[in-house]
Chains A and B, each alone.
Chain A
């Protein structure tokens, strides 16, 4: 039987100290048999230095292939209440904004059917409900959709898109990250809920090159806000920063990656043609400087964590594009990528690895983009060029 009062001397150590304690969080729900057993299983892991979970078994809600991750204890006899302890990913609202009522609605659903434990939020951005029995999944799903929520992605599907706070609260947002995140999520519900890709595909929308959602490292399609025209300068505010202790020569001019800023003690001069939009000067003096007015985004493709072929940062595909609803250009590009990668990608091959295997030039041909120098750090150094027979190419057209 489940025991909600068992002793957990190792875990109790993690209730001490000033930082918020996850053990205190778990114990707040320990009257539930599921959570009592979770504490027992976790204490066991701490003692044995090994995890006690198994993956496996297809679980989910009817008609969906993603959104639920099956999780089973490998000690079901000792800890029967966590024999099934699945994860439910609930698609978060853009920008992780909530009303207190919406949070209470989520809590009430999870109170009724699950462990009462969550992650706010998971690594990809979803609201994560930790620990659900198979039999309760449909009910949780039904109540979620009644309340206006839906599941996120998992497996080889479009993963839940996510974004930075954007124009909701940031003066640096170069496009509407909240709107596009919602738009793309709603436009591709089928791809999100029914795995049909070689592997996962992630979108992350960052409003400026500070990339607060780590899109370049963590998404297959990284959209990073940028601008084309001049950095906006408020000269009096620059002076105010200088008078309040910012050493403009040292902290701004010398740290500019292209050395395009000069300062004569009175006024800042930026050679905007040389600016690479790194954001450093704007970050240091947010009251004085702001991105330009001709705003858009850079599209980079292929970022990923190490599994399987090693980590990749996303690579530039479109140096500048205006990002206005309904985002047709991005959607067309995305569908061209999905078509090519979907047909030729190997099982569990992320699009970044796929591009390396087939070659960026071939990839560009297939998705319909012209090569431009912004796509490379430098041109090739090896002379083994595979020349295309132009006549043959013409014959195809």
Chain B
């Protein structure tokens, strides 16, 4: 390389990518309206109007599709677009008359508009079998299967409140799904299996022992090999050991599956932010369409939709009716796994006689 190697330049300055209407009205927006699902109209104090057309994406995008979006942005939006934190694409238009033809062209290409207001927006998700080493299940495939069913709630605004669904493919939750209305979470349910013949050749025992957050891994000589044993009762299936040593196999086709968590949120609107709570501890991992997961999630969405008050998110509805009634209405069995046994478990025990008898 002849040129001076550049480092630590940081990201390009966002100002380069702001359309002129945004530069002009930066920080001076007055209000917004949603004239139809998929379209946000922001009016500035100057009276200027910015139209944002929000369309779905699969998050995993080919450069062919990104180039398609770039071409459409050139054709309709003077070349300006953005992505949302939930992986939707937003085309930014200053001419309201161009919204409908752009929408038609995007929908013809298979990218439906929606996801605004009292709707289900895109499902944020992780890598799954496409690219992750500790995935208990695939991410994109479950999300695709779910959104194929839930899409009417993306393209309409027919729900009591917004619903945020998120997916993470193992319990480390790199997707941080733990504060979602519905969190779909891949789970490992057994301690890793160890390949004692392979381990001494590819792993360092001390770093493997140190990798375990609960101290469940201990050095041991097994069949003459310098290896480790795992105290199964202490294992919480985080897969940290597999990250440092591929001979400690956390992924298990027989016992990996999917769990469902409900009632979390991050916004401060009405109730404070709160974690999602366990609804279903285990569903089978059933590719390519995960019918059990799709049925469970759509079932919860439908019961909430039919019973919640306006503006009441899933967790707020459950708070009002109580968890007993939630399990009764959904038909989901309450099991020993629903009772917390981690650090602050005692805080979740009910300690009063205020019970709906």
Chains A and B form a bound pair: yes
Counting chain B CB atoms within 10 Å of each CB, the highest count among A54, A96, A131 belongs to: A96
Q: What is the predominant secondary structure among interface residues of chain B facing chain A?
A: loop
Counting chain A CB atoms within 10 Å of each CB, the highest count among B42, B63, B110 belongs to: B63
Q: Closest CB-CB distance, B236 to chain A, in whole Å? A: 9
A182 near B213: Cβ-Cβ < 8 Å: no
Contact A280 to B269, CB < 8 A, known contacts A100-B81, A149-B12, A178-B14: yes
Is A388 positioned at the interface, with any CB of B under 8 Å from its CB?
Answer: no
Chain B interface: which of A183-191, A318-326, A330-338? A183-191
Interface string of A91-133 (1 = CB under 8 A from B): 1111111111111101100110000111111010100001100
Which size bracket describes the interface of B in this complex? Answer: 35 or more
B173 contacts across to A, CB distance below 8 A:
305-307, 311
A214 near B176: Cβ-Cβ < 8 Å: yes
Is B57 positioned at the interface, with any CB of A under 8 Å from its CB?
Answer: yes
Counting chain B CB atoms within 10 Å of each CB, the highest count among A14, A45, A169 belongs to: A169
Contact A310 to B342, CB < 8 A, known contacts A116-B62, A214-B176: yes
A6 contacts across to B, CB distance below 8 A:
none
Complex Cα gap A308–B214 (Å): 9
A107 near B133: Cβ-Cβ < 8 Å: no
Chain B, range 1-36, C-beta contacts under 8 Å to A: 1, 3, 5-14, 16-18, 22, 26-27, 29-33
Q: Closest CB-CB distance, A214 to chain B, in whole Å? A: 4
Chain A interface: which of B96-104, B225-233, B239-247? B239-247
Chain B, range 132-183, C-beta contacts under 8 Å to A: 132-135, 137-138, 140-141, 144-145, 147-148, 151, 168, 171-176, 178-179
Q: Closest CB-CB distance, B54 to chain A, in whole Å? A: 12
Interface string of A266-286 (1 = CB under 8 A from B): 000000000011111001101
Q: Closest CB-CB distance, A105 to chain B, in whole Å? A: 10
A278 contacts across to B, CB distance below 8 A:
268-270
B6 contacts across to A, CB distance below 8 A:
142, 145-146
Can you name the residue of chain A whose Cβ is closest to the Cβ of B85? A213
Complex Cα gap A123–B56 (Å): 17
A142 contacts across to B, CB distance below 8 A:
1, 5-6
Complex Cα gap A313–B70 (Å): 37
Complex Cα gap A71–B246 (Å): 12
Q: Closest CB-CB distance, B53 to chain A, in whole Å? A: 13
B267 near A51: Cβ-Cβ < 8 Å: no
Can you name the residue of chain B whose Cβ is closest to the Cβ of A186? B10
Q: Which of A71, A98, A279 contacts B269 (CB 8 A)?
A: A279
Q: How many residues of A contact B (CB 8 A)?
A: 124
Is A249 positioned at the interface, with any CB of B under 8 Å from its CB?
Answer: no
Is B93 positioned at the interface, with any CB of A under 8 Å from its CB?
Answer: no
Is A265 positioned at the interface, with any CB of B under 8 Å from its CB?
Answer: no
Complex Cα gap A215–B69 (Å): 28
A56 near B29: Cβ-Cβ < 8 Å: no
Chain A, range 27-59, C-beta contacts under 8 Å to B: 28-29, 38, 42, 45-46, 48-56
B178 near A25: Cβ-Cβ < 8 Å: no
Complex Cα gap A176–B42 (Å): 17
Interface string of A130-153 (1 = CB under 8 A from B): 110000000000100110111000
Counting chain A CB atoms within 10 Å of each CB, the highest count among B124, B140, B174, B176 belongs to: B176
A25 near B62: Cβ-Cβ < 8 Å: yes
Is A173 positioned at the interface, with any CB of B under 8 Å from its CB?
Answer: yes
Is B289 positioned at the interface, with any CB of A under 8 Å from its CB?
Answer: yes
A49 contacts across to B, CB distance below 8 A:
137, 253, 256, 285, 287
B27 contacts across to A, CB distance below 8 A:
167, 173, 176
Q: Which of B17, B64, B84, B129 contacts A51 (CB 8 A)?
A: B129
Can you name the residue of chain B whose Cβ is closest to the Cβ of A288? B31
A62 contacts across to B, CB distance below 8 A:
5
Is A85 positioned at the interface, with any CB of B under 8 Å from its CB?
Answer: yes
Those 10 A-B pairs whose CB atoms lie nearest each other, nearest first: A17-B148, A167-B27, A100-B70, A209-B268, A19-B147, A145-B6, A94-B14, A171-B29, A91-B11, A100-B79
30 A-B contacts (beta carbon < 8 Å): A10-B288, A18-B148, A19-B151, A20-B56, A29-B63, A49-B256, A51-B134, A55-B242, A55-B246, A92-B11, A93-B17, A94-B14, A97-B14, A97-B17, A116-B62, A150-B8, A164-B85, A169-B52, A214-B266, A216-B179, A216-B273, A218-B176, A276-B268, A278-B269, A279-B267, A287-B31, A290-B30, A290-B31, A310-B343, A313-B273
**Known A13-B289, A123-B174, A255-B270; 16 more pairs at CB < 8 Å:** A20-B58, A22-B59, A22-B60, A25-B62, A25-B65, A85-B131, A107-B70, A117-B61, A167-B27, A170-B29, A171-B29, A217-B176, A286-B31, A290-B30, A307-B171, A311-B173
Chain B residues at the A interface, C-beta cutoff of 8 Å = 1, 3, 5-14, 16-18, 22, 26-27, 29-33, 42, 50, 52, 56-67, 69-71, 73-74, 79-85, 87, 89, 92, 110-112, 124, 126-135, 137-138, 140-141, 144-145, 147-148, 151, 168, 171-176, 178-179, 210, 213, 238, 240, 242-244, 246, 251-253, 256, 266-271, 273, 275, 285, 287-289, 310-311, 342-344
